[in-house]
Amino acid sequence: MKITNILFNLIKFQEEEKHNFVLSSSDNSNQDDNSDLQPLENTDVDVYSSIDVNLQYVKEKYNVDINSDIKVREFFINARGKQYKSFLLFIDGMINSESINKFVVEPLMLKNTSNTTTADSNIVSTAVTGNVTVKRVKKFNLSDYISERLVPQNDVSTESTFKEVFNKVNAGLSALFVDTINTVFLIDAKGFDKRSISPPDNEMIVRGSQESFIESIRTNTSLLRRIVNNENLVIEDASVGTISSTKIGICYLKNVANKKLVQEVKNRINNLGVDYLISSGQLEQLIEDTSFSLPQLIASERPDRVSSYILEGRVAILMNGTPYALVAPAVFIDFLTSQEDRNIKYQFTDFLKAIRALALILTLLLPGFYIAITTFHQELIPTELLFAIIASRSNVPFPVIFEILIMEVSLELIQESGVRVPGPLGQTIRYRPVL
């Protein structure tokens, strides 16, 4: 009983103690001058129109003085003959420096015909229809002027809260703050390194695609787009984790998938109240019905397999940072099916499924069946086979059930060592000479 209590105390969950830390300002005078700043723990506040307040808030939030990869580039923007103070926030190593220099900093800082004209405070556009000339006058707006004329990057969006800005910057985007504007321009110029597309490691087949998912969610969505090749494929973004804000992609065919199924998947994902999420295995456990239920999701690293399920009307869940996709819902026959079954005739497919079902039955029932026969029903064993079993166990000092348990544990240890032991050490253990 004591041993059981000790083991239980080792593995039971203990809630971590929560500590409340307050970041003190290094300069008391700045704190007095900017008393309208919200507490640093709260990022769900609107962007300020003052560039100095935004700059101080960003520097304190990101700890720019001690963070070596957080970069803040301050400069002046030329817009219609005037200069506006601004700064660019990005994470070094996650952006393409050449794109930032050529398509963001250079058009904004250097003088050209787009940003030096001072003809009028309004923008006039002329359209000719037949013999009629129509002039449209649009009031000058600095925010629209920058996004439409001064930043030639192909993907530019705006946000007005620090929470969304920080989430996008942490994902690899660059944030442009401009004085007198209470919105932030988010520029997609990602440039971080990622693993190239390689053949699958755990779902290898002979005849079929040799591509697998990688850790970049946008690359994975492009693989699905390329295979499904239909405009009805919908990929909705979601965010999970109050700390990590892990990006999730919910993929389905709009005209094929059941609307109730799609809504159920979105509700379970959006209602997760967790601090962080770093693997699809965690997500699978969190959105299942119960912890002791049969598997309800399929985990696959093959884009062709996931695409086939999407075309059947199921919902796929992609997660940034993991090369596995989840498919909902899963039925029992899916776990006895391989992607290669789609590439061969149905007669061979049915035969292989029968073989897999037989292997499943033997795996589950054979140890218990062996114990029952050899211990309690020896009369069911042929005499010669019974004598062979007795002779083989004559020098074994353990009962049959203990022997089976040792065998099962030994097989699991061999499997774990084959997967977890590092390569050089594994070769040493495998080929160790017998002394």
Phi, psi of 218 (to 5 degrees): -70, -35
Q: What is the pLDDT of residues 130-158, one digit of tens each?
A: 566 655 656 777 888 888 778 887 888 89
Which of the two residues, 316 and 10, has the higher pLDDT score?
Answer: 316
State the pLDDT at residue 240.
92
Is this model's pTM higher than 0.85 or not? no
pLDDT for res 87: 94
Question: What would the two tokens of residue 62 be?
Answer: 């990101």
Q: How confident is the model at residue 311, as a pLDDT? A: 94
Per-residue pLDDT tens for 256-286? 999 999 999 999 999 998 999 998 989 999 9
Contact indicator for 57, 33 with CB cutoff of 8 Å: no
pLDDT at 174: 92
315: CB partners within 8 A, 6+ apart: 250, 251, 252, 257, 261, 262, 265, 327, 328
- The more confidently predicted of residues 348 and 26 is 348
Q: pLDDT category, 316, cuts 50, 70, 90?
A: very high
Provide the residue ranges of all domains of the chain, joining segments of one domain with +. 25-187, 217-342, 369-430
Cβ atoms within 10 Å of 253's Cβ, excluding its own: 18
pLDDT at 378: 84
* Strand, coil or helix: 273: coil
Higher-confidence position of 14 and 202: 202
Give the SS3 label for residue 83. Answer: strand
Mean pLDDT of 386-411: 85
Contact criterion met (CB below 8 Å) for 232 and 224: no
